[in-house]
A and B are shown apart, each in its own frame.
Chain A
């Protein structure tokens, strides 16, 4: 079978094309008690993000005299996976918290708020592979909703290799059974990459292909983020017309 024909007939486990994103839904301003919030559904991932700040840092000795500190917490709810997951923070949670912080930090004007802290809490309600990417997408919407000055939105998407084929936005099964996984976070307007990880084995060409594929996916997600942010104000305008 020729390569091209194989590509045409080939479908993914969940019936998607190789360059197709999972169904995506983002909502901003969903929580009344925080400064900013967002909710994302990316495939079967369900994540809610709340942002506080900028506010005074506690404990005080952790604050920086010249910039604010971005504090991120990634946490998976016990009911987010099957079997039940321990709610205590694991090594993985700590690492992903750090990854999210590093991905978001370049986009935030932290130097405008010395000695303070901006807190980002990402709560995974349901996990389906690619939670770090989905968390970054929701977190950047929540940061904008909190009115924190930002250089750009941060968009994140993964690409990888499954069954010898490059695929976009890996689901849980592809993540676990596939050959490789490349999550990327990206600032589309500034054209800068803020996160690039790789897990698995890829040739140099395949790696380039993955990066380009993921960046394409990022552009699509960016549009959804924009719409989510604008929607909060459009709905109010419609209500007003009804009055």
Chain B
């Protein structure tokens, strides 16, 4: 780690970098959204560079959804095949939901699949596996998973989901408390909002849009809290 500061003179932590920017030259581990080329570590996406102990990475501002095991996702059923549903989760490939993962019973030919989930239904699901072709395998068995009966879905850039959750969930807890809405965050950038009144839901949508626009700024949680307060006053 000696000489670390010397080598990375061009950028410092939290600087905006663009694909191709040389972030580091020499021995270091490459983190997210970086690649190594001729001994140099370069950015592969636009975002904020982060130099931490022995790793250089880019916290990206624009990225599609990359499915990982354990993610909760909000998806749309787009097709029914024999024994499985194809679910669009905004990934580069369609996700699969197999019958045993939907009704906790083995596949039988007499199961009427559209009665369980039909094309056009929205589901909250968990990624339980990535198969050999990296197709995400979903499950809707478990608490808070399954078909969505009501609420509205908004989409944001998936790479900004950590900002929406905040440190140890600080941001989302605050939004839940202030708006009184029930919010399910899909790691794929789709967020399910369920409020008691239409006004509450509208506040939540506006707040999420604001976070999406200002994810790269500091002191966001406090500003969002102020923002919600002013909106509430407007309604009253």
Q: Report the bound CA distance from A154 to B48 in whole Å.
A: 21
- Cross-chain contact B20 with A56 (CB below 8 angstroms): no
Chain B, interface residues (CB within 8 Å), range: 20 to 34
Instruction: Determine whether the beta carbon of A147 is less than 8 Å from that of B157.
Output: yes
On whether the beta carbons of B21 and A233 are closer than 8 Å, the reply is no
B63 to chain A minimum Cβ distance, whole angstroms, is 4
Q: Does B33 contact A (CB under 8 A)?
A: yes
Of all chain A residues, which has the CB nearest B60? A147
Stretch at the interface among A38-46, A157-165, A182-190, A200-208: A182-190
Known contacts: A54-B92, A147-B159, A152-B19. The answer to whether A115 contacts B133 by CB under 8 A is yes
A109 to B92, CA, bound (A): 13
Tell me, in angstroms, the Cα distance from A205 to B69 when the chains sit together. 58
Give A152's nearest chain B residue, CB to CB. B20
Among B159-190, those with CB < 8 Å from A are 159
Contact B62 A149 (CB under 8 A): no
Which chain B positions have C-beta within 8 A of A7? none
- The answer to whether A189 and B92 have CB atoms under 8 Å apart is no
**CB distance B157 to A149 under 8 Å?**
no
Q: Does A14 contact B (CB under 8 A)?
A: no
Per the bound structure, the CA–CA distance linking A154 and B19 in Å amounts to 10
| Interfacial chain A residues near B216, Cβ < 8 Å | 233, 236
Residues of A within 8 A of B63 (CB): 147
| Contacts A144-B45, A147-B60, A189-B42 known; 5 new A-B pairs at CB < 8 A | A116-B93, A145-B46, A147-B157, A150-B19, A153-B19
- In the assembled complex, 21 residue pairs joining A and B whose CB atoms fall closer than 8 Å, in A order, are A109-B35, A113-B92, A116-B93, A145-B62, A147-B60, A147-B61, A147-B63, A149-B33, A149-B35, A149-B45, A151-B19, A151-B35, A151-B37, A151-B42, A152-B19, A153-B20, A188-B20, A229-B46, A236-B214, A240-B223, A243-B223
The interface of chain A, by Cβ under 8 A from chain B, is 35-36, 53-56, 68, 107, 109, 113-116, 144-153, 187-190, 226, 229-230, 233, 236-237, 240, 243
